[in-house]
Amino acid sequence: MSTEISSRAEAPAAGPDRSFGRTVKAYVALTKPRVMELLLVVTVPAMILAEKGLPNLWLVLATLIGGAMSAGSAGAFNCYIDREADRLMKRTKNRPLVTGEVSDRNALVFAWVLGVVSVVWLYFTTNWLAALLGLAAIFTYVVVYTMWLKGRSEQNIIWGGIAGCFPVVIGWAAVTGSLDWPAWIFFLIIFLWTPAHYWPLSMRYREDYAKAGVPMLGVVRGRVTVGLQVILYTWATVASSLLLIPVAEMGWLYIIGSILVGGYFIGEAHSLYSSAIRGQEGKPMKVFHGSITYLSVLSLLIAIDPLLPF
pLDDT tens across 68-99, in order?
999 999 999 999 998 888 888 877 888 888 88
pLDDT band at 212 (very low <50, low <70, confident <90, very high): low
Mean pLDDT of the chain: 87
Domain 180-310 has CATH 1.20.120.1780: yes
How many angstroms separate the Cα of 36 from the Cα of each of 60, 66, 132, 163? 16, 12, 19, 12
- 186, 234 Cβ separation under 8 angstroms: no
What is the spatial distance between Cα 42 and Cα 71, in angstroms, rounded to a whole number? 13
Fold (CATH) for 30-177: Tetracycline Repressor; domain 2 (1.10.357)
Is the predicted pLDDT of residue 1 greater than 60, yes or no? no
CB crowding 236-254: b at 16 or more within 10 Å, else e:
bbbebbbbbbeebebbebb
DSSP three-state, residue 153: coil
Structural domain spans, the chain: 30-177, 180-310
Comparing 302 with 159, the larger pLDDT belongs to 302
Residues of the chain above pLDDT 70, percent: 94
pLDDT tens across 216-258, in order?
777 777 788 888 999 999 999 999 999 999 999 999 999 999 9
Minimum mean pLDDT among 7-16, 145-154, 284-293: which range? Answer: 7-16
pLDDT at 232: 95
CB-based contacts of 218, cutoff 8 Å, min separation 6: 199, 200, 201, 202, 203, 204, 205, 206, 209, 226
pLDDT tens across 258-309, in order?
999 999 999 999 999 898 888 777 788 999 999 999 999 999 999 999 999 8
- Sort 14 into a burial class: Cβ within 10 Å, 0-12 / 13-18 / 19+: exposed
pLDDT at 310: 73
In CATH terms, are 30-177 and 180-310 the same topology? no
- Count Cα atoms within 13 angstroms, Cβ side, for 31: 22
SS3 readout for 43-111? HHHHHHHHHCCCCCHHHHHHHHHHHHHHHHHHHHHHHHHCHHHHCCCHHHCCCHHHHCCCCHHHHHHHH
What is the spatial distance between Cα 102 and Cα 79, in angstroms, rounded to a whole number? 11
